[in-house]
Amino acid sequence: MRIGLFGGSFNPPHDAHRLVALTALKRLGLDAVWWLVTPGNPLKAQGGLAPLAERMTAARRLAAHPAIHVTDIEAGLGTRFTFDTIAALRARCPGVRFVWIMGADNLAQFHRWQNWRGIASLLPIAVVDRPGTGLRAAAGVAATALARYRMNETDGLLLPFARPPAWIFLHGLKSPLSSTAIRALNGNH
């Protein structure tokens, strides 16, 4: 089993989340993508964060795909830091090949995540391009530090089997959508 882990605030979820998941499913040859709806991103202020149950319901409605599973696994595990979540999932699912999926904006600040080098040594990572952030991400601290482990974009199907550290930057269809913009439209910052 090859499973993509796509963590996010999903506050609210939008079509770009679905596009990222579908891109990863196809380009990495995954069996499924699990959306890990976070109880709260450790680096983001929690003001304005909708309740987890509300974000779960909206994410399930939006995902609507047999290979996308929307979960609140981090609430169940009692983890918030991605390193802890991945370590717990790997211990529970020894036969599964997990891949971490994130947008390019998160690669740009990946070096601020707790034990980010540890995350990169636990599992392969797929970064999906995002308008306005791709160049900054590709030249950032984490991308530079991990440069020698970057795989060719055409080798996506090999990524789930690669020994970490290993990562890939997927370009292709890009969506400008963001939860921030949707909250602003709804008058809810």
Ligand X SMILES: Nc1ncnc2c1ncn2[C@@H]1O[C@H](COP(=O)(O)OP(=O)(O)OP(=O)(O)O)[C@@H](O)[C@H]1O
Ligand Y SMILES: O=C(O)c1ccc[n+]([C@@H]2O[C@H](COP(=O)([O-])O)[C@@H](O)[C@H]2O)c1
Q: Which residues bind ligand X (CB under 6 A)?
A: 8-11, 16-17, 20, 102-103, 105-106, 128, 130, 175, 177-180
Instruction: Give the shortest CB-27-to-ligand X separation in angstroms.
Output: 14
DSSP-derived letter for residue 140 is S
Residue type at position 134:
G
Q: Which two tokens stand for residue 143?
A: 């991308």
Q: What does the alpha-carbon distance between residue 69 and residue 63 come to, in Å, rounded to a whole number?
A: 8
Q: What does the alpha-carbon distance between residue 53 and residue 72 come to, in Å, rounded to a whole number?
A: 9
Count of CB atoms within 10 A of residue 110's CB? 25
Beta-bridged to residue 99, according to DSSP, are 4
Q: Considering CB under 6 A, how many residues would be counted as binding ligand Y?
A: 15
Residue 114: contacted member of ligand X, ligand Y, none (CB under 5 to 8 Å, by partner type): ligand Y
Near ligand Y by CB under 6 A: residue from 12, 29, 81, 149: 81
Instruction: Give the shortest CB-168-to-ligand X separation in angstroms.
Output: 14
41 touches ligand Y (CB under 6 A) = yes
4 touches ligand Y (CB under 6 A) = no
Instruction: Give the shortest CB-65-to-ligand Y separation in angstroms.
Output: 19
Burial category of 89 from C-beta neighbours within 10 Å (exposed 0-12, middle 13-18, buried 19 and up): buried
133 touches ligand Y (CB under 6 A) = no
Q: Which two tokens stand for residue 77?
A: 């595990």
Residue type at position 13:
P
Q: Which residues are at the interface with ligand Y (CB under 6 A)?
A: 7-9, 36, 38, 41-44, 81-83, 106, 113-114
